[in-house]
Structure 1
Amino acid sequence: MSNHLAAPVDAPSAADAAELAHAASAARAGLASLVRGVAGQRARRVLLALLLPVTALLAMEFSVRGGLIPSNLLPAPSQILDTLRDLGAQGLFGHIAASTLRVAAGFASGAILAVLLGATVGLSRHAEAILDPTFQALRAIPSLAWVPLLLLWLGIDEAPKIVLIAIGAFFPIYMGVASGIRGVDRKLIEVARLYRLSNIALTKRVLLPAALPAILTGLRNGLSLAWMFMVAAELIAASKGLGYLLSDGRETSRADIVLAAITLLAILGKISDTLMAAIEQRSLAWRDSYA
């Protein structure tokens, strides 16, 4: 038998090494450029988001300082900051914590009930015929109309406040869940039936993903309404909370306290909505949408 010696493998030449180094450098430069582009896009979005409020605040400041608007009716933003600083020394965090806890408890209660009943109505035509007309009628009742009834039923403790916030959060979430499930494309259901999916698998793999955008939109709307109903709830003999500060500012003719409380409500509402939007974006990362 003749022995065949294997041909030696050529070592990479200097030109090949230089080409590889150039490719790696180009990849690093491209990645760095992409990161800078994303960071620059986020910075531009932040600047655009701040454009309107900063312009409005500057216009208010100069209008009040120039005497165009009486300061007792519309305090300057700098005066509102001073009021917030004074309130901070007088227990402002306690008011913020009280309102936030009430919103969290009311929103959680209303959301759980709304998801259960909304899913029931969305999945069953009989449940829709029984429950939906009543819920649509109750949805039209203004928030303040519930206040005297809740006072009669539950007294003036925390219970009526949380129930009122739960009522405010319930209806938009219920509508989102029910309409999201009812709006699932019938062709998706038919394909799932062809694959003989069980009801649990059908709900998990078809109905829930298809209805999730509407459900999350309902949750965001419900959270916003929970903050709005919280103000009405804290008019029920509250001794702490941002709604109490609003009432106190009205009774003492302190427009700066009223505007300080409104500012805090706007900030807290925006923070909670941003968190909910982040959850929505993460949950719907699979969706190939226009956005």
Structure 2
Amino acid sequence: MAAPARTLSPALLATLWGAAGLLALAGAWQWGAAAFGPFVLPSLAETGEAVVRLVTTGKAGPALLATLVHALAGCVAGGAAGFFLGVAGGLVLPVGAMSYPVFTALLGTPPIAWVVLALLWFGPGGAAATFTVAITVAPILFIATLQGVRSRDRALAEMAQLYRAPALMRFTDLVLPALADFLIPAVATALAFSFKVAVMAEVLSGADGVGGGIATARSHFDLPETMAWIVLAIAALILADALLLAPLRRRRAGRGHPAPVSVEA
């Protein structure tokens, strides 16, 4: 008699495949360390020891908190500006037509250029990192929001206007559902860019945070500590994504009622 089939939820399968990807990355890292030597890539053990040292000496906590503040504050400020201008541009044609080339130009400007300008405008410190994150994130959210609003069902919008549905109801029932499929990937991209840009700006501006730790380790030619700071920054990004975006993705996926995957015992 055949054993009964077991079912794995898509969320669990995604977690397992994600863990497999990280294990593959760790294996490639260790191979690179063995092939090229510690002056090119430190081993996992050396990097792990550096991570433990940074955590136990109390250096990691304040640095991670500073980077989180720079990344999330800039992401929220730039994301909010891009979102509201994207909604306005999607609903009002002249606003969208005027704003799109401006945000396209902003999107094409290298973040390093914004870091240099921010240093001239704000001086060294956290303000430069926060500003650079905001100006980098805003175009991502603007373009996604603009496309999402423009993709709404025009017939339903005309019907709602014909029956004089309140403006707030039209926005929540017609515009927001059309935005969800565009915004969730855009916010995930913006969050990842926020951490990368914040760390880069911290390295160049001398601000506190993970970037400041990387700059110090670089000046000491301490490659394991440099890699340890990178690992800590990635861990903070994964944690932020799991806490802030994973619930939204699960809620969105739950509306589609994906079928569980069957695995024979």
RMSD between superposed Cα atoms in Å: 2.6
Which whole-Å deviations, capped at 9, do the CAs of 1:25-57 have from their partners, x for residues lacking one? Answer: xxxxxxxx99x7447x75554333222322342
In the alignment, structure 1 residue 225 sits paired with structure 2 residue 193: yes
| Matched-pair contact (CA < 8 Å) for 2:133–2:198 | yes
**Which residue in 1 is equivalent to 2:160?**
192
Distance 1:277 1:123 in 2: 29
Which whole-Å deviations, capped at 9, do the CAs of 1:244-284 have from their partners, x for residues lacking one? Answer: 22222322222212211221222222222233132233256
The structure having more radius of gyration, on CA atoms, is 1
**Which residue in 2 is equivalent to 1:48?**
17
Distance 1:63 1:135 in 2: 40
**Which residue in 2 is equivalent to 1:160?**
128
**Which residue in 1 is equivalent to 2:41?**
74
Which whole-Å deviations, capped at 9, do the CAs of 1:4-36 have from their partners, x for residues lacking one? Answer: xxxxxxxxxxxxxxxxxxxxxxxxxxxxx99x7
| Matched-pair contact (CA < 8 Å) for 1:192–1:206 | no
Which whole-Å deviations, capped at 9, do the CAs of 1:40-80 have from their partners, x for residues lacking one? Answer: x755543332223223424543664xx53312211110110
Q: Which has the higher contact order (CA 8 A, sep 6+)?
A: 2
Give the paired residue count. Answer: 255
Instruction: List gaps (5 residues or longer) in structure 2.
Output: 261-265
| Matched-pair contact (CA < 8 Å) for 2:50–2:228 | yes
Counterparts of residues 81-160 of structure 1 (less than 5 Å): 81-90=48-57, 91-160=59-128
**Which residue in 2 is equivalent to 1:14?**
none
Distance 1:116 1:74 in 2: 44
Shift of 1:109: 1.0
Change (3 A) 1:63 1:282: closer
| Matched-pair contact (CA < 8 Å) for 1:189–1:206 | yes
**Which residue in 1 is equivalent to 2:263?**
none
| Matched-pair contact (CA < 8 Å) for 2:103–2:142 | no
Shift of 1:227: 0.9
Which whole-Å deviations, capped at 9, do the CAs of 1:87-137 have from their partners, x for residues lacking one? Answer: 123321111111111112111111221111111111100111222221211
TM-score, structure 1 as length reference = 0.78
Identity of aligned residues (%): 23
Larger displacement relative to structure 2 (241-250 or 158-167): 241-250
